[in-house]
Amino acid sequence: MNKTAAKEWLTKAWHHLSTAQLLFQLEHYTDIIAIEVHYSVEITLKAFLAYDNSKIFKTHDLIDVYKHIKCYINFDDAELSILEQISEYHIGESYPSSNRNLPPLQEIKDVLEFAEELFDRVCAILNVDKTEIIKR
Residue 79 has pLDDT above 80, yes or no: yes
pLDDT at site 94: 77
Q: In Å, how far are 9, 17, 106, 113, 128 from 122, measured between CA atoms? A: 11, 14, 24, 14, 8
> If you write DSSP's letter for every residue of 6-25 in order, what string do you get?
HHHHHHHHHHHHHHHHHHHH
Q: Rounded distance, CA 15 to CA 79, Å? A: 22
pLDDT at site 136: 62
The pLDDT confidence band at residue 99, using thresholds 50, 70 and 90, is confident
Q: Which residue type does 61 have?
A: D
Q: What is the mean pLDDT of residues 70-80?
A: 97
Residue 98: φ, ψ to 5°: -70, -20
